[in-house]
Chain A
Amino acid sequence: MQGIVDFIVSLNIPLVDEGIARLISHVIFASIIAVAAPASLVILTWLERKIIARIQNRIGPNRAGPFGLLQGFADMVKMFTKEDITPAAADRVPYNIAPGLSVISSIMAFAVIPFAPGFIGAELNVGVLYIIAIGGLGVLAILMGGWASNNKYALLGAFRVVAMLVTYEIPMIIALVIVTMVTGSMSLQDIVAAQSGLNWYAFSMPLVFLIFFIAGVAETGRSPFDLIEAESEIIAGFHTEYSGIKFGMFMIGEYVHMFALAFFTAVLFLGGWQIPFVTSEGYLPVWLEAILGFIALNVKMGLFVFIMMWFRGTLPRFRIDHLLDFCWKFLVPVSIVLMIAVAIVVKLFNPVGLATPGLLLVIGEFFALLIVNVGVGGAALFFVSRAARQGRNKTLRSVTAVDAPAPASK
C-alpha cells in the first residue's frame, strides 16, 4: 500500500498530497475488492455444483461451456432476466434495501484481511472487533427482509435465522477473544505476524480452531446449518417474497460471506500469508514474499471453501432445537472454560517484564496450549458422552421395565 501511495505522490499531480494519494489508493483497493468479491461468485457457484455432484456420484453442469465453466454466467443472466415481483403490501424501503445491505455487510468484511505483507485495506488496530460488528449488520438485513415481505412465513423464517445467528455469534466471539489473548493484539496484521514459522494457531489451539470454524459456518448459514434455505421446511424462509436479482443478491451475500469466512479462518488460524520457512525469514525480496504470501493465502482459503462445500454435500440439516442446544449446552460452556484455561497458560508463559520471550518459553507456550486444548476437548466429550449415556439408560429402563408402577397422576 505504501508503495502505491509513494508512486501516486511521485506523479506530482497538482492538488494531490500524501493524504489524497492515500485516499486514491484506498479507493482503488476498495473498487478491486467490491468487484472481485461478487465476481468470485461466478466461479464459486460452478465449483460448488461440481463438487456436490461428484460427492453424489454424478457429473454436474457440463453443458454451458467446457466442463460447464460458463454455468456461473448462465446463472447470473437468468437472475437478471427473471421477473421482479414486489408484493403489493410490502414495505417498500426496507424491502429494497435488505438485499443490498446483505451484500454490503459481506463485502465490508474484506477491508481488514491482510492479503500480503503490507497489503491491507484498512489497518485497524481493532480489526477483530470490526469483524464482529459487521456480522451484526448482516443480521439486520435478514430481519428487514423478513419483516418487509409482509408474509408470515418469511417473518417466521427470519426469526429462526436471527435466533441461530445471534446464538452462534457467542462461541465465535469467544474464539476470537482467545486468539486476541494469545497474540496480544486485535489487529489482524499482528495476528498474522505472530504466526511465523510453525506457530500456526491451528496446530497449537485445535479446539479453538474447530469452535471458530463451526460457529463461522453456522454464521454464514451454510449446510448443515442452512435453515435459511430449508425448502422443505418453511417455503424459502425470509427470502420467500424475493425474486429476480434481489434474490440473486441474497445469494451473492451468502457466497461472499462464505468466501470471507474462509479468508478469516486462514488468516486467524492457518497463518494467513505465512509460509513456514519461507516468509518472515528475511532472505527473500519484499515483492517476492508478497506474491508468494498471497498465493499461499489463496490456497488456504480454497481449502476452507472446499471443506464447506464438502459439508454441504455430506451432512444432513440440523433441526432448530438441536442446533440451539448444541450451541448453548456444548459450544458456549466449552469455549468459556477454554478461555479461562488459555488465559492462565498465556499469563504463565509470558511473565510481566519480559519484552520478547525466549525460545524455550515460546515452545513451552505452544505445547501448553495444545495440551490445554486437547484436555478441555477430551473432558467436554467425556462429560457429554456420560450425560448422553445416562439419558439413554433412563429411557431404556423406563421402556423395558416389566413391573413398573403406574406413574403418579398429576
Chain B
Amino acid sequence: MPDLSTVVLADLVPLELIVFIFFTLCTLLGGAGVVFSRTLFHSALSLILSLFGVAGYYALLSAGFLAVVQLMVYVGAIAILILFAIMFSRSNNQPEKGQANHQWWISLPVTAVLFLILMFVIGSVEWPVSDVAPPDDMVEQLGMAFLGSYLIPFQVIGVLLSVALIGGVILARDRVDTEEM
C-alpha cells in the first residue's frame, strides 16, 4: 500500500501546465478570432484576448513587470487606439462579407510547409535552461540598465515617441485663421 500521506496535488496534476494551456488557448483562439471574424470590431476584440494571453506568458516566465507593462501599453493604449480607428471608419456594424482569400490553393501548402520547417527547427534545438532564480530587484536592475548600458537606445525611443506625439498633434490641429478672433 503506497504511502498516501505525503502525496500532494502538485505531484499528481501539473498545475503549471494547466495555466500554460489556458494562456495558450487565449492566445490561439484570439488569433483565430482576428482572422476568422466577420466584423472588424470582433477582430479587434479577439486581438485584445490574444494580447492577454501573451501577458499571461510573461507572467509564467517570472517577468511580472513585463506582463503588467504589456497590459498597460497594448491593451490600455494600442488596443483602444485600434478600436477608435475602427469605430471612426465604419458606419455601423454590418457584417462585411467574409474575408475570403481566393488564393488559398497556393497559400495553404506554403503555410503548411513553413509550419513544418519551424516545428522541425524548434524541436531539434537543445534549449538551455538556466537554474538561476529571477532577481528580487528586477525592476531596479531594469531601471539601472536603461540609464546605464542602454542609455542611447532609451533616449532614441524617447525622441521617437515625442516626435510621434507632436506630429499627431500637428496633423490633427484645426487650421485656424490667425486673423479671426
Residue numbers of A with Cβ under 8 A of B are 14-17, 19-20, 89, 91, 93-94, 124-126, 129-130, 132-133, 135-137, 139-140, 143-144, 147-148, 150, 155, 159, 162, 166, 186, 407-408, 410
B4 in the interface (beta carbon within 8 A) = yes
Contact partner of A150 (CB less than 8 A), chosen from B12, B84, B93, B179, is B93
B156 in the interface (beta carbon within 8 A) = no
Q: Are B8 and A133 in contact (CB under 8 A)?
A: no
1/0 per residue, CB under 8 A from A, across B39-72: the answer is 1011001001000000000000000110011011
Interface size of B in residues (CB-CB distance below 8 Å) = 33
* Set of chain B residues within 8 Å of A89, measured between Cβ atoms: 92
* Set of chain A residues within 8 Å of B5, measured between Cβ atoms: 14
Shortest Cβ gap from B176 to chain A (Å):
12
14 contacts between A and B (CB under 8 A): A16-B9, A17-B9, A19-B8, A91-B41, A94-B42, A126-B65, A129-B68, A136-B80, A140-B80, A143-B87, A147-B83, A147-B87, A159-B87, A408-B179
Q: Are A135 and B76 in contact (CB under 8 A)?
A: yes
B79 in the interface (beta carbon within 8 A) = yes
Per CB-CB distance, the 4 closest pairs between chain A and chain B, nearest first, are A136-B76, A17-B8, A133-B71, A133-B72
Interface residues of B in 3-28 (CB under 8 A from A): 4-5, 7-10, 12, 15
Q: Are B10 and A17 in contact (CB under 8 A)?
A: yes
Q: Are A20 and B64 in contact (CB under 8 A)?
A: no
Bound CA span A93–B38, Å: 13
Bound CA span A89–B179, Å: 47
Q: Are B7 and A136 in contact (CB under 8 A)?
A: no
Q: Are A410 and B9 in contact (CB under 8 A)?
A: no
* Set of chain B residues within 8 Å of A20, measured between Cβ atoms: 8-10
Chain A CB count within 10 A is highest, among B48, B72, B84, B93, for B72
Closest to B93 in A: A91
Extra contacts, 11 of them, besides A124-B64, A136-B80 (Cβ < 8 A), are A15-B7, A17-B9, A124-B68, A136-B77, A140-B48, A140-B83, A143-B80, A143-B84, A159-B87, A407-B179, A410-B179
Shortest Cβ gap from B128 to chain A (Å):
27
Bound CA span A130–B72, Å: 8
User: Contacts A15-B12, A136-B76 given: A130-B68 contact, CB under 8 Å?
Assistant: yes
Number of A-B contacts (CB under 8 A): 90
* Set of chain A residues within 8 Å of B9, measured between Cβ atoms: 15-17, 19-20
Shortest Cβ gap from B89 to chain A (Å):
12
Shortest Cβ gap from B38 to chain A (Å):
11
Bound CA span A295–B25, Å: 43
Q: Are A140 and B79 in contact (CB under 8 A)?
A: yes
* Set of chain A residues within 8 Å of B29, measured between Cβ atoms: none
B139 in the interface (beta carbon within 8 A) = yes
Bound CA span A135–B7, Å: 42
Shortest Cβ gap from A316 to chain B (Å):
27
* Set of chain B residues within 8 Å of A155, measured between Cβ atoms: 87
Q: Are A129 and B72 in contact (CB under 8 A)?
A: yes
Q: Are B87 and A91 in contact (CB under 8 A)?
A: no
Q: Are B45 and A144 in contact (CB under 8 A)?
A: yes
* Set of chain B residues within 8 Å of A139, measured between Cβ atoms: 76, 80
Closest to B48 in A: A140
* Set of chain B residues within 8 Å of A19, measured between Cβ atoms: 8-10, 15
Contact partner of A125 (CB less than 8 A), chosen from B64, B69, B80, is B64
Q: Are A410 and B177 in contact (CB under 8 A)?
A: yes
Bound CA span A390–B139, Å: 47
* Set of chain A residues within 8 Å of B41, measured between Cβ atoms: 91, 94, 147-148
* Set of chain A residues within 8 Å of B39, measured between Cβ atoms: 91
Shortest Cβ gap from A136 to chain B (Å):
2
Shortest Cβ gap from B73 to chain A (Å):
9
* Set of chain A residues within 8 Å of B8, measured between Cβ atoms: 15-17, 19-20
Interface residues of B in 69-124 (CB under 8 A from A): 69, 71-72, 75-77, 79-80, 83-84, 87, 92-93
* Set of chain B residues within 8 Å of A124, measured between Cβ atoms: 64, 68
* Set of chain A residues within 8 Å of B7, measured between Cβ atoms: 14-15
Chain B CB count within 10 A is highest, among A89, A130, A133, A407, for A133
